[in-house]
Amino acid sequence: INLCIFVCLAYGDGFFLEVYFDEIYNEKNMDRIKIFKGDITKIEVDAIVNAANTSLLGGGGVDGAIHRAGGIKILEGCKKIIAEQGGCEVGEAVVTTAGQLPAKFVIHTVGPIWYGGNDDEKVKLKNCYTNSLLRAKEFNCKSIAFPNISTGIYCFPKDLAAKISVETIKNHLKEDTEIEVILVCYDDENYQILKKEMEN
């Protein structure tokens, strides 16, 4: 029976349809973007991204969770960067060790606070994703996990943030042919929005 199904699939229209869809899917690099619902501190990837603030000294939300789970080494790394360059600008990204986390590096980026859309928030959020991906490449990372930057305490609209994140990552994957990206959603609302965005 198995052989029969294989022959039917291999020579039937279904096979070609499948290959055709696969090619479109791969062309858009969507096979290297995944969404995951859960806690980013638990994920085993080369780099996880932190939604930090310009001081780099830690805070609430995912920032607090990463520093708590990763331990003092991450804060020490941040302090070294503060001494060198005084913190991190909105849209920029800097790299530290991941301390006790399963990841190798934490890429700290600073998302924009949502002021209603009149403060270049969209461009700033796009820069967060682009610069984090560039840092990942510099550090030879083959996998990276992002939280939904700015969509918590910084109040960026979740649907708009999802569009910007997927679009920016998709574009980057055209240049970077190796890296795999996981979009980690902690809350169900972001997860449902991103699932829809990915299906589109």
Looking at the annotation, which residues are catalytic?
63
**Given the complex with ligand AR6, which of 29 and 94 has the nearer CB atom?**
94
The side-by-side arrangement of strands in the sheet containing 33-37 is: 33-37, 180-185, 143-146, 47-52, 105-110, 93-97
8 A C-beta contact, residue 56 and residue 108: yes
The rounded Cα 6 to chain-centroid distance in angstroms is: 38
Contact in structure between 141 and 56 (CB atoms under 8 Å): no
- For ligand AR6, the binding residue among 70, 87, 91, 147 (CB under 6 A) is 147
Stretches 35-43, 115-123, 163-171, 191-199: which one binds ligand AR6 (CB under 6 A)?
35-43
Residue 61 engages ligand AR6 in binding (rule: CB under 6 A) = yes
Reduce the DSSP state of residue 87 to 3 states and report it: coil
Q: Of residues 91-130, which lie at the interface with ligand AR6 (CB under 6 A)?
A: 111
- For CA atoms 86, 89, 94, 96, the dihedral sign is positive
Question: Which residue lies nearer to ligand AR6 by CB, 29 or 128?
Answer: 128
The whole-angstrom separation of Cα 172 and Cα 95 is: 19
Does residue 63 interact with ligand AR6 by CB under 6 A?
yes
Which one of residues 53, 127, 131, 143 is an interface residue with ligand AR6 (CB under 6 A)? Answer: 53
Closest CB to ligand AR6 among residues 29, 191:
191
Residue 148 phi/psi, 5° resolution? -85, 85
- # residues contacting ligand AR6 (CB under 6 A): 25
Beta carbons of 144 and 136 less than 8 angstroms apart = yes
Is residue 81 within 8 A of residue 96, CB to CB? The reply is yes
Instruction: Verify binding: residue 165, ligand AR6, rule CB under 6 A.
Output: no
Greatest extent of the chain over all pairs of C-alpha atoms, in Å: 68
Query: Residues 34, 36, 65, 159: which binds ligand AR6 (CB under 6 A)?
Result: 65
CB of 29 or CB of 110, closer to ligand AR6: 110
Q: Would you say 12 or 60 has its CB closer to ligand AR6?
A: 60
Q: Summarize as ranges the residues that interact with ligand AR6 (CB under 6 A).
A: 39-41, 51-53, 59-63, 65, 111, 147-154, 184, 186-187, 190
